[in-house]
């Protein structure tokens, strides 16, 4: 069953989110919050899904956002960093990748802080409603915490079980990284790991770096070391906390991309998803307890 929402207009941030460098903004008419550091780096976070839509570091965009992405306020937005919660993909009865990415998170609960040096922190919140309980009968609060530092972006998902029974979910930060040409890129750090190839439905072992060209959809165990996206125009260091037990790597390649209505024909060349995920076994959170896990991106 689908859970959708409509957007309340946000023209000003609540008092708790009023920090120098944070301001109300919009993307394609949808409310968003802009973060801007003194060094010039910026981030844009939509209230729909608490979805990071843009991260500019060193004057360059680091996240892919499809020029054909939906912006009706309830269809998933193709690109940026979608939050998949409380279900990854179709591994359960809920809408694909869970309802968190299509709901409007609570503008009035937004909080922002200036960090020592040149940094900004933003927290957005989503809590259960009668609508979410109708499809997922749990009392929860979820936060997305964004930390923007020069050349660095951390996204952290926090899940609080407000109910009196254990909470089980799967989740991911489905990060779309922007690249000039994915065929010129290599992803380092997964060598030697067994993985599930979701395209072929096989279980091989990674040999060397991951290269791109055709459709690729793989679930690896979280690598013990930091990954590196090696790209001609500069790369990214990518790491994830241990609570994210898997790493998903996805690129639709030309054939699947052509079938995605919200992607331009050559969009697959400009993107690469490297996702911090907790999906092979559900995460269990005891009543009253919290779970938290971050993905960290560092421009090289
Ligand atoms: O994370 C990879 C994946 O689960 C792929 O299987 C592919 O479906 C992708 O996510 C995109 O899903 P979406 O619902 O956003 O089109």
pLDDT single digits (tens) 94-108: 999 999 999 999 988
Which CATH number belongs to the domain containing residue 203 in this structure? 2.70.98.10
Give the Å distance between the CA of 84 and the centre of ligand 1: 10
Instruction: Out of 275, 284, 290, 298, pick the active-site residue.
Output: 275
Predicted confidence at residue 11, as pLDDT, reads: 63
Percent with pLDDT over 90 in the chain: 92
Does residue 2 lie within any of the structural domains?
A: no
Predicted confidence at residue 2, as pLDDT, reads: 46
Percent with pLDDT over 70 in the chain: 96
Q: What residue numbers bound the domain in which 91 lies?
A: 22-299
Report the number of distinct structural domains present in the chain: 1
Which residue's CA lies nearest to atom 4 of ligand 1? 89
Give the Å distance between the CA of 273 and the centre of ligand 1: 9
Predicted confidence at residue 1, as pLDDT, reads: 41
Predicted confidence at residue 89, as pLDDT, reads: 97
pLDDT above 80 (res 5): no
Q: Which of 131, 43, 27, 42 is nearest to 81 (CA)?
A: 43
- Cα–Cα distances in angstroms (integers) from residue 99 to residues 15, 53, 142, 170, 285, in the given order: 28, 18, 12, 12, 19
Q: Taking residues 46-54, report their average pLDDT.
A: 98
Which residue's CA lies nearest to atom 14 of ligand 1? 96
Give the Å distance between the CA of 130 and the centre of ligand 1: 27
Q: What ligand 1 atom has the least distance to the C-alpha of 96? A: 14
What confidence category does residue 70 fall into, taking pLDDT thresholds of 50, 70 and 90?
very high
Q: What ligand 1 atom has the least distance to the C-alpha of 172? A: 1
Give the Å distance between the CA of 146 and the centre of ligand 1: 23
- Contact status, residue 245 vs residue 222, Cβ threshold 8 Å: yes
Does residue 16 lie within any of the structural domains?
A: no
Does residue 236 lie within any of the structural domains?
A: yes
What confidence category does residue 10 fall into, taking pLDDT thresholds of 50, 70 and 90?
low
Report the Cα–Cα distance between both ends of the chain, in Å, rounded. 42
Which residue's CA lies nearest to atom 9 of ligand 1? 250
Coil, strand or helix at 195: coil
Whether 275 is catalytic is yes
What confidence category does residue 6 fall into, taking pLDDT thresholds of 50, 70 and 90?
very low
- The pTM score is 0.96
Does residue 1 lie within any of the structural domains?
A: no
Q: Which residues line ligand 1 (CB under 6 A)?
A: 76, 89, 96-97, 174, 198, 217, 248, 250, 273, 275
Whether 298 is catalytic is no
Q: What ligand 1 atom has the least distance to the C-alpha of 174? A: 1
Does residue 60 lie within any of the structural domains?
A: yes
Which residue's CA lies nearest to atom 2 of ligand 1? 250
Give the Å distance between the CA of 151 and the centre of ligand 1: 27
Instruction: Out of 145, 160, 174, 228, pick the active-site residue.
Output: 174
Coil, strand or helix at 83: strand
Does residue 139 lie within any of the structural domains?
A: yes
pLDDT above 90 (res 124): yes
For the four alpha carbons of 294, 134, 76 and 170, in that order, the dihedral sign comes to positive
Does residue 11 lie within any of the structural domains?
A: no
Q: What ligand 1 atom has the least distance to the C-alpha of 76? A: 15
Q: Taking residues 35-63, report their average pLDDT.
A: 98
Predicted confidence at residue 296, as pLDDT, reads: 98
Q: What ligand 1 atom has the least distance to the C-alpha of 248? A: 1
254/268 Cα distance (integer angstroms): 6
Q: What is the DSSP letter of 205?
A: B
Q: What is the DSSP letter of 270?
A: G
52/32 Cα distance (integer angstroms): 9
pLDDT above 50 (res 7): no
Q: Taking residues 101-116, report their average pLDDT.
A: 95
Q: Taking residues 37-46, report their average pLDDT.
A: 98
Does residue 266 lie within any of the structural domains?
A: yes
The rounded mean pLDDT for the chain is 95
Q: Taking residues 257-278, report their average pLDDT.
A: 98
pLDDT single digits (tens) 161-208: 999 999 999 999 999 999 999 999 999 999 999 999 999 999 999 999
What confidence category does residue 17 fall into, taking pLDDT thresholds of 50, 70 and 90?
confident
54/177 Cα distance (integer angstroms): 10
Q: Taking residues 20-47, report their average pLDDT.
A: 96
Q: Which of 288, 299, 187, 185 is nearest to 237 (CA)?
A: 299
Which residue's CA lies nearest to atom 12 of ligand 1? 89
């Amino acid at each position: 069953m689908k859970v959708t929402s409509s957007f309340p207009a946000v023209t000003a941030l609540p008092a708790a989110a009023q920090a120098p460098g944070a301001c109300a903004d919009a993307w394609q008419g949808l409310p968003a919050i802009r973060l801007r550091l003194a060094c010039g780096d910026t981030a844009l976070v939509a209230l729909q899904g608490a979805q990071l839509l843009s991260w500019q570091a060193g004057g360059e965009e680091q996240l892919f956002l499809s020029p054909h992405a939906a912006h009706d306020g309830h269809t998933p937005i193709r690109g940026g960093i979608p939050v998949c919660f409380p279900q990854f993909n179709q591994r359960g009865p809920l809408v694909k990748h869970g309802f968190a990415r299509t709901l409007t998170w609570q503008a009035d609960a937004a909080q922002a802080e200036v960090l020592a040096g040149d940094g900004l922190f933003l927290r957005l919140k989503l809590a259960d409603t009668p609508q979410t309980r109708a499809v997922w009968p749990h009392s929860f609060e979820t936060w997305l915490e964004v930390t923007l530092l020069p050349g660095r972006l951390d996204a952290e998902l926090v899940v609080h079980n407000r109910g009196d029974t254990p909470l089980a979910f799967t989740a991911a930060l489905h990060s779309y990284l922007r690249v000039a040409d994915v065929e010129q890129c290599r992803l380092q750090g997964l060598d030697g790991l067994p993985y599930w190839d979701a395209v072929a439905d096989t279980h091989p072992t990674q040999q060397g770096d991951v290269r791109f060209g055709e459709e690729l959809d793989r679930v690896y165990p979280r690598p013990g070391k930091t990954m590196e996206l090696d790209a001609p125009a500069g790369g990214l260091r990518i790491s994830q906390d241990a609570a994210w037990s898997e790493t998903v790597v996805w690129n639709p390649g030309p054939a699947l991309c052509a079938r995605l209505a919200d992607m331009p024909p050559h969009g697959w060349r400009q993107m690469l998803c490297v996702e911090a995920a907790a999906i092979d076994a559900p995460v269990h959170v005891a009543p009253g307890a919290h779970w938290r896990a971050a993905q960290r991106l560092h421009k090289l």
